Amino acid sequence: MAGFLLMGDARSRWRNTNGFAIEASFLRAFTSLGGQSRLGSAITPGLFAGDTLHQYFNHGRLDVPGPSQPFKVGVPRLAKLGVSMATAVSATSPGRTDGNFAEPWADESKRAIAGQLVGGPVQWRGWQMQFFEREVVRLLERSPGEYYPYPGHVGDLFTSLTPDERARGEGHEAPIERPNSPGLIDVHVPILTYHLTRGAEAFRSQLQGLLDRGLVPVSFEQLVAAVEGWAAIPAKAFVVSFDDGWLIQLDEAVRVLEELRVPSVFFVMPGFDRHQQGHMSTDDLLALRRSGATVASHTLNHADLTALLRGNLGAAQAEVIESREQIESSVDGVDFFAYPLGLFDEGAARLVQAAGYRAAVTTQPGIVHRQDRLFEMRRISVQAWWPVGDVVREIRLAARVDRVESPV
Ligand SMILES: [Zn+2]
């Protein structure tokens, strides 16, 4: 019986909305800054939601490379960004009501893109404006006392929010449709798995070494989207993942990841800090998310799902479903899962898939990913303090397991 509770369609979370207007805004920024030739890897429409958009800004594609550039963008699910924006700025004074904010959207098709009106007019940073779900209209002064409505891009405004303002707008889920391709494409991308760190220095020099060898860090979401068959991925891409939610990761690794602009995914156990063994608390998970990392589930109790499935289906379901619910109570959008101890079988993979995750990672070595193996993705175990040569060696070994060429 309980099994049927799991059967919701995962993709229903992403249906019936689109992120067109926001994508247009970011594409414009991408193009105006030199596009692919100057900024590197292509932007794939549809990836401007959630983590990847966040990391795109946070980790350096839309600005000049270098660790000092700003673009700290804490991004909730974005297709209805206007809702978040309106929430973020609503603490300021109400706006005037004598302008016809809806005039630019009199056309039915434009109205469809802009979405529903969100709240009433607001005044923010000297602007009179009205948010729609996916757009914003500002009143511009034509002459003293005479205003006209001017349509704008809510994404542009979003990038100018302060961290406090962004925090106020967080928590509004705004799903985006993700196309799915039936094709089975092999995607060759090493996913590195880290656990503990021994100081930021060693990790920094290792990571810098990988970047110096031409490897290109991508978000885990971008890899999954590429495996799903609808996103581009750069040559020599690699993914950084951290397991077990150790607090020291936040103290030592996140700093380096931010500095070097390397996207990352952290598989955590929510609430595990009660064991007082140095794990992240709920607040820590929020800080992790704000740093730009993808936060994903590693169950509640680091459970062996294969054993639980044999003895206690309800407990296994709780580990998979409640872990996500608990993480999502403070962090938006948990789509990915890592099997504790790397232990999985067909039943465990089915359970994770039925619970609505998009992908799950194992500890089996390899670098080749395919759509029919999205719930048993291979990873490469490494240590954060190793010299870079040791990591390169492990990547080559994993490539050999899959009988493909190593990217490095
Ligand atoms: Zn673990």
Report CA(267)–ligand 1 centroid distance (Å): 8
Report CA(291)–ligand 1 centroid distance (Å): 22
Report CA(339)–ligand 1 centroid distance (Å): 7
Report CA(398)–ligand 1 centroid distance (Å): 20
Give me the helix-helix angle, 220-228 and 50-58, nearest 10°.
130
Q: Please write the tens of the pLDDT for every residue from 9-23.
A: 333 332 222 333 344
Report CA(194)–ligand 1 centroid distance (Å): 10
Report CA(91)–ligand 1 centroid distance (Å): 42
CA distance 258 to 172: 25
Report CA(302)–ligand 1 centroid distance (Å): 6
Neighbouring-strand partners of residue 147: 141
pLDDT higher than 60, residue 198: yes
Report CA(373)–ligand 1 centroid distance (Å): 20
pLDDT higher than 80, residue 288: yes
Report CA(246)–ligand 1 centroid distance (Å): 10
The average pLDDT across 26-47 equals 54
The chain-wide mean pLDDT, for the chain, equals 76
Report CA(207)–ligand 1 centroid distance (Å): 22
Q: pTM score, two decimals?
A: 0.66
Give CA separation, 57 vs 33, 50, 51, 262, 268, in Å. 13, 11, 10, 11, 24
Looking at per-residue pLDDT, the higher value among 256 and 218 belongs to 256
- Region of poorest pLDDT, from 23-27, 325-329, 367-371: 23-27
What length is written for the chain? 408
Report CA(340)–ligand 1 centroid distance (Å): 5
Report CA(92)–ligand 1 centroid distance (Å): 44
pLDDT higher than 50, residue 255: yes
Triad 44, 291, 216: Cα angle to 5°: 45
Q: What's the pLDDT score for residue 377?
A: 98
Report CA(144)–ligand 1 centroid distance (Å): 63
Of 265, 271, 224, 288, the C-alpha closest to 74 is 288
**Model confidence at 30, in pLDDT bands (50, 70, 90)?**
low
**Model confidence at 277, in pLDDT bands (50, 70, 90)?**
confident
Q: Please write the tens of the pLDDT for every residue from 349-407.
A: 999 998 888 899 999 999 999 999 999 999 999 999 999 999 999 999 999 999 999 99
Report CA(53)–ligand 1 centroid distance (Å): 27
Please, what are the domains in the chain? Answer: 85-153 (no CATH), 184-401 (3.20.20.370)
Report CA(157)–ligand 1 centroid distance (Å): 39
Report CA(66)–ligand 1 centroid distance (Å): 33
Report CA(243)–ligand 1 centroid distance (Å): 5
Report CA(363)–ligand 1 centroid distance (Å): 10
Report CA(112)–ligand 1 centroid distance (Å): 45
Report CA(245)–ligand 1 centroid distance (Å): 8
Report CA(244)–ligand 1 centroid distance (Å): 5
Q: Which of 134-143, 240-249, 288-297 has the highest mean pLDDT?
A: 240-249
Of 352, 335, 205, 213, the C-alpha closest to 265 is 335
Q: Please write the tens of the pLDDT for every residue from 79-106.
A: 466 777 788 887 666 666 666 777 777 7
Report CA(324)–ligand 1 centroid distance (Å): 16
Q: What's the pLDDT score for residue 337?
A: 97
Report CA(298)–ligand 1 centroid distance (Å): 7
User: 196-200 long-range CB contacts below 8 Å, 24 or more apart?
Assistant: 196/246, 196/248, 196/249, 196/383, 196/384, 197/248, 197/249, 197/252, 197/253, 197/384, 197/385, 198/384, 198/385, 199/252, 199/385, 200/252, 200/253, 200/255, 200/256
Q: Please write the tens of the pLDDT for every residue from 118-166.
A: 888 888 888 888 888 777 888 888 888 788 888 776 766 766 676 677 6
- Region of poorest pLDDT, from 48-52, 66-70, 159-163: 66-70
Report CA(354)–ligand 1 centroid distance (Å): 21
Q: What's the pLDDT score for residue 333?
A: 65
Report CA(172)–ligand 1 centroid distance (Å): 30
CA distance 72 to 167: 12
Of 131, 123, 174, the C-alpha closest to 151 is 131
Strand segments, DSSP code E, in 269-408 are 294-297, 336-338, 359-361, 368-369, 380-381
